[in-house]
Amino acid sequence: MGRLATVGEGARGRRPWWVTHPAPAPAPLRLEWESTGARAVLAVSGDLDAVPTEEVLVARRALTGCSVLQVDLAGVPSIGSGGLSVLLGVRRWCLQRGIELRIQGAQPSVWRVFQLTGLDLVFAPEVEPTLPPAVQELTLF
């Protein structure tokens, strides 16, 4: 009878790939603020899931006179339930103060999570109206 494999040991006594290739550590969260009168831009980069509450992002910031808060997610490579919860908290915080929240620069991986959860309708990016395509006549002969 053969010996039983222990935790961290695969078949034939080898270590599984996830033990020898651990997941990379998430990038630390970085926030950059830019405020110009009625508009404020918050550029977020790193791991948004590591933020405990939305207050870390906005409540400590003086947004007096701000009517539009743009959150730029270009530096956020992925998002999970923690990050979604934080963004929904920021949305609630903005609604309570009459501030319009706009999400911009979301990477495809982040936007896909928004689509899967239905939050793409809540965080729809500002889209410029497009004109219908010009009608072209086709000549077959």
How much is the pLDDT for 36?
83
Residue 55 tokens read as 């207050």
Instruction: State the CATH number of the domain containing residue 72.
Output: 3.30.750.24
Regarding beta strands 30-36 and 39-45, do their DSSP bridges make them parallel or antiparallel, or are they unpaired?
antiparallel
Alpha carbons 59 and 90: distance in angstroms, whole number: 9
pLDDT tens readout for residues 34-66: 888 889 999 999 888 887 777 777 766 767 788
DSSP string for residues in the chain: -PPPPPTT--GGGPPPHHHHSPPPPPPPPEEEEEEETTEEEEEEES-GGG---GGGTTTTS--TT--EEEEEEEE-----HHHHHHHHHHHHHHHHHTPEEEEE---HHHHHHHHHHTTTTTSPPP----PPPPP------
Q: 126 versus 51: which is more confidently predicted?
A: 51
pTM of the model: 0.69
- Specify the length of the chain in residues: 141
Residue range of the domain that includes 54: 24-117
Query: Is 87 a domain residue?
Result: yes
pLDDT tens readout for residues 16-41: 766 776 667 777 888 888 888 889 99
Number of compact structural domains in the chain: 1
